[in-house]
Each structure stands twice: as C-alpha cells, then as structure tokens.
A = this chain, B = another copy of it.
C-alpha cells in the first residue's frame, strides 16, 4: 500500500522542514575556514582547468569525477563535456593547480588551499593528493536556494592531523563484495580517508585467489573469495581515489581456513574446514565469562611456527600476494593467540626447549621475526596488532592498538611510540560495537601530545554481524566522524555540530552511491512483508541496536546463528543505525523546549509525543501479514506508554504524574530483541527539566 500512508501528513509547520542549517556542512572540518559574504553561482558554463607540471591522470580522473558529481547534484548539463589535460587557459570557473604530481602514498604532503570568489574558484595544492582532498571540500560547499545552486565565497586552508586515516574492513567473517568495497572507497575519499585495510583471512575464510596455493581459496572460502583480476580492479579503483589498500593475512592464530586446504601448516592434526574459531556450547546462553574462558583456555587452530615448511609456504604465498597489493605495507595480524594449541603439541614444546624460548609468547616473537624477514625481503613495512608489541619487536614494525580496557591491561600509544614503533589507533574506533558516532569522536585513546611515530588510526568493522546488505549502514555515516577525528584538529569537540554535519554528509554519501539508508528501508519493507513502512519508521527511527558485545553473545548462542556465513541479517536490529537522526532532532527539540517552554516548541513536542502514543494502533494492523514486526511492536507499546505519560505531565505536571512518567520511561529503556530506545534521556528531561549530556561510554555486555 503506497496510497494512504500520507494521510494528514501535511499539517506540518514549515519550520520543521527548514531546520537543516544553511551553513555548509564540511566534514572533516578544515583547519581554517574564512566565510565571506557573497556567492559563486553554478551555471552550465561551469568549466574546470587543470594545471600540473606533468600530465597528471590521477588529477584529471578526479576532476572529471567531481564534474560529474556536481552535474548529478545540480542537473546543470555543463557545456564542458570533459576536463582535459594541459588545457587550462587560467580562465575556467575552477582552476586546479598542483605543484607536484603525486601518487597515493602515506607521508606525502596532503594540504590544499581553496578560494571561492564570485567569478572564480581556485584550488591550489603542493601535491595531487592535496588537490583530491580540496575537490571533496568543494563538493561539500555546494548549497542551494530558490534561484539555484551556489558556493559561498570562502577561503579555506587545510591539512590533515594524521598521515594514516584508515578503514579496516573484515571480509573474512562475512564476505563483502567488490562492489560494496568500491562504495566504501568512494565514501572514504569523500571524507579524506586514505588507507583501506582489508582483513583478508581469518578462521571463517581465506578471501583471495591464490594460483600458487589454490586450496587456500578453494577449500578455505566456501566459494566466496576475490579473483586476482578483481583485486587488480579494486586496487586500481582505490588508487584513482587517492587510497592505498593494505592487505592483512592474520597469523599465527585466526587461521582455521588456511588449514582446510593445507592441514600440514597447523599445529594440530586436521581435518579442518573454515568456521568460527571456537566450538561454542550452544546448548546454553553465551556470556562474557564463557567467552573469556574460551579466549584464554581453548586450543584454537594455530599455525605451526616450528616447521621450516611453514616459512617456505609463506615465502611463496607472500611473493604472490605482494604482487597483487603494491602498497608497501603488510599486516600480519598476530592477535589473540593464547598459545594453548602450541602447548598441546610435544614437537612444538621440544622446539621451544631446544631454541630456549621460555614461553609461547617467546615462540610467537620468534614467528613474528621470521615473517618480519619475509616482509623485508618483499620491501614491505610490517604491521601487526598490539599483541605483537614487546621489547623484541623491531622498531620499524607498525603496531595497531585495539584492545578495550575491559580486556585487561592494554598498551598505550605513548608506550609504543616511546620505543620508537609507529602506532595506528583502532582502540575506541570499533564500528561493530554499534556505538553512536560521538563516542568514537570523543575517543581518549589518542594522546594529546604530538608523537611523531603516531601515524594515525583506523576505523574498524569486524563482520561477524555484517553482510552485503547491512555493511553500508554498519560503516556509515559513523566512519565519517572518525575520519574527522583523524583529519581535523583535536580541538574540535562540539558533538551537536558534528551530528548536524554528519547527517548532511550522510545524504551526500547516499547521492554518491552509498546504500546505508536505502538498504535499511529495504530490510524494513521485508519485515513488513511488503507493506508500507513509513508508520513503522516513526518508531524504528528512534531505536538503535544494543551496544557492545551484547548482540554477538546472543547470536553466537543460536543453533544456526547469524554469525554463520550463510545466515541472513534481516532482523530489526540489523536495519537500525547506531546513529539515529530522528533521535538527534528530538534531542534538539527537547533542548529548545527546555530553554523556552510553552513556545512553538511545546506544540511540536506534543505532536511528536502523540505520534508515538498512537504508534501501536497504527502498526498493529500490519502484524496480520508480517509476524516479523513483533519486536518493533513491543518497543512501540513501551514508547507509547512513555509518550502518553509525558503528555499527561505536560497537561498536569503533578509529582504523581512525573513519577509515573519516569517509571514508564524506565520501562521503555528495556532492551529486547537486541534493540533499545535512543531517546530515553530526552524523554526524562521533559520531566526533570534537565537534559543529561550524552554518555561517552556504555556497558559492553
């Protein structure tokens, strides 16, 4: 049914539509922005000139893509069909000048200056990479009014805070298609990220075609892997957008999938097939204690570091893999190896005694040094997770810190840089925790001190609970907030302004091809069994998935749970974004209500509360054809009671009414079906009169 959903939906106060701020939403925000009065108006005579000392295909490609995106945004059908090399007369609408043509790499200067006047736009950059960033800023400046599209006159000077602004995508737990990776790359470049770190192998899968050891992908991927032509295609696609791809092959643990085809590599006899690291007892609920127990004591598939054949194998494999991934970095994982599998193998025990390796940590160091030698052989800078860090680690190995404090003692960035190792920070940037953007934005794992060896950080998306349909929404728009943390000065801490800009950028990313919101609609319509979803969105828009590891624990406990390769992610929790735009707007509304009661804001507040109050009766009829909507109805009913109680408080603010309102709100906080409400603090504030600051940490279990 499409026809009747909009009934009466027009008695709207115009202001509600105009709330979107007219000031340009720049994200990441540049170092310096000086807005001037006046505009540069976009017309179909808009033209682009490129000036570079040498023919610069990277810059030309970017200029042409930018021209097409601008055309897509404005429908102006520019007269200039294509931007051509060495053709600038200096009189074009936009003149891009680079002093030096550069290719994507870390530690290249990335600064640029962008000047928008009334007649012309000048983009100057010392390097091609700087110009690419400037073009993205330019697109973010585009505004519209009744008479058309324009850019505000402005002078922007910009450069990044960190040289390494990465996104780590786990394509092993669930396979992520090349097409989804391309969408991710487009979004990364739009927010000035420059490193796509692919977690290419884990217990669940080995995802790259190997011609030398074909059983790696044939036996180890359930048929889900990237062919070598696809890898070439992806690397070139990223390269064109100023992004390098860093491959990770996780060893010595997290390697079950390797052994499906090559059991001789394992420290315990096979047979193996790709699958989860632990054999979980699914007869009882999985909880933190059970998981910690397994993580610390279970013997999990681990490579045998004592055999020379292991290193001969890895030597041949790396020779092949570095030919696919030209960037000079190789990530070898080295995380979460508890050594139990090694202890259980007498031959390995004997090797340790013989080589006087006092414990399995020492043996892992031995393994790492051997891989380090291979990385050197292939001119790759080695990267590893923080478990690899220690006095014996060569100082040129990059260390990626990730452990949350709850995992016990963790290594700080400072400690690592003090020893001289480069650091990449992913601690506090795990997107798979379902935390709202501001939590990552306020991440305290980044030291305030300037540390030369601190390269930067990576947003990380582990894919136990992610698939092709949900990946865009699990990554975006949140990753853009992390991108700003990596690019913009540390002094930027205004969370409300972050969200204001984040949701504007979210729209631009959608226009740019990202499906984070559309796939959410797709899943909701499926839950509704094809029925209209707008009345459902009135509730689902203010719900979020439960945070931390809560959802993972539940899913791991299922007989054939969602953590399996072939299971669908089509529950209510799967389609919800950890950042609710509606919740943000409701928070703004409550704020202004608290500032100036009884104004227009109270009317709007009451209208919104009435919608929620009536939601269950509006949703229930859909249930008769859509049993999967039950979880949503449960939350709708709780929210409805809270809204009703609040309306009563607005009518008659007695202590009794306030108390019962707070009680219903408390009930509405209850998480169920791995979903929770995102506006409980705001509802409480209507009663208490004071709005709590957004929490920056949440319980993980």
Contact = CB atoms under 8 A, between A and B. Distances in A.
A570 B559 CA distance: 46
A369 interface: no
Nearest to A521: B518
A2 B77 contact: no
B9 A626 contact: no
A344 interface: no
Contact count band on A: 35 or more
Instruction: With a 10 A CB-CB cut-off, give which of A22, A529, A537, A621 has the most chain B CB atoms.
Output: A529
Contact of A3 (B532, B562, B589): B589
A618 interface: yes
A683 to B, nearest CB: 14
A515 interface: yes
B144 A6 contact: no
A614 interface: yes
B71 A607 contact: no
A34 interface: no
Interface in A143-182: 144-149, 179
Contact of A22 (B230, B511, B586, B625): B625
Interface string A554-574: 000011111010111011000
Interface stretch (A13-21, A351-359, A402-410, A479-487): A13-21
Contacts of A623: 146
Contact of A10 (B179, B608, B611): B611
A147 B628 CA distance: 10
Contacts of A537: 2, 6
Given A541-B3, A618-B12, A79 B17 contact: no
Contacts of A522: 510-511, 518
A636 to B, nearest CB: 11
A17 B622 contact: yes
A567 B9 contact: no
A474 to B, nearest CB: 17
A657 interface: no
A504 interface: yes
A310 interface: no
A64 to B, nearest CB: 8
User: How many copies make up the complex?
Assistant: 2
A663 interface: no
A12 B20 contact: no
A68 interface: yes
A358 B541 CA distance: 72
Contacts of A697: none
A693 interface: no
A581 B531 CA distance: 12
A628 B145 CA distance: 10
Interface in A369-390: none
A615 to B, nearest CB: 7
B8 A627 contact: no
Contact of A535 (B10, B561, B568, B621): B10
A145 B622 CA distance: 10
A532 to B, nearest CB: 7
Contacts of A233: 227
A328 to B, nearest CB: 26
A508 interface: yes
Nearest to A532: B17
A264 interface: no
A672 interface: no
A3 B618 CA distance: 17
A77 B9 contact: no
Given A229-B227, A511-B522, A560-B78, A621 B7 contact: no
A81 interface: yes
Contacts of A541: 2-3
Interface in A677-697: none
Contact of A625 (B18, B73, B558, B622): B18
A3 B609 CA distance: 11
B538 A525 contact: no
A567 B77 contact: yes
Contacts of A144: 529, 625-628
A585 interface: yes
A75 interface: yes
A624 interface: yes
A9 B11 contact: no
A467 to B, nearest CB: 10
A8 B5 contact: no
Contact of A611 (B6, B72, B558, B561): B6
Nearest to A73: B526
Nearest to A223: B61
A149 B581 CA distance: 33
Given A3-B16, A7-B11, 18 more contacts: A3-B586, A4-B607, A4-B608, A7-B608, A8-B611, A9-B535, A10-B614, A18-B621, A44-B559, A75-B568, A77-B559, A144-B627, A145-B624, A147-B627, A179-B179, A511-B525, A511-B526, A518-B519
Shortest beta-carbon contacts, A-B, top 9: A507-B530, A10-B618, A518-B518, A229-B229, A4-B16, A14-B621, A8-B8, A3-B585, A72-B568
24 contacts: A1-B17, A2-B581, A3-B581, A3-B582, A3-B608, A6-B535, A7-B608, A9-B534, A9-B535, A9-B538, A10-B535, A10-B611, A12-B618, A17-B621, A18-B621, A22-B625, A44-B560, A68-B566, A77-B567, A79-B559, A81-B566, A144-B628, A145-B627, A518-B522
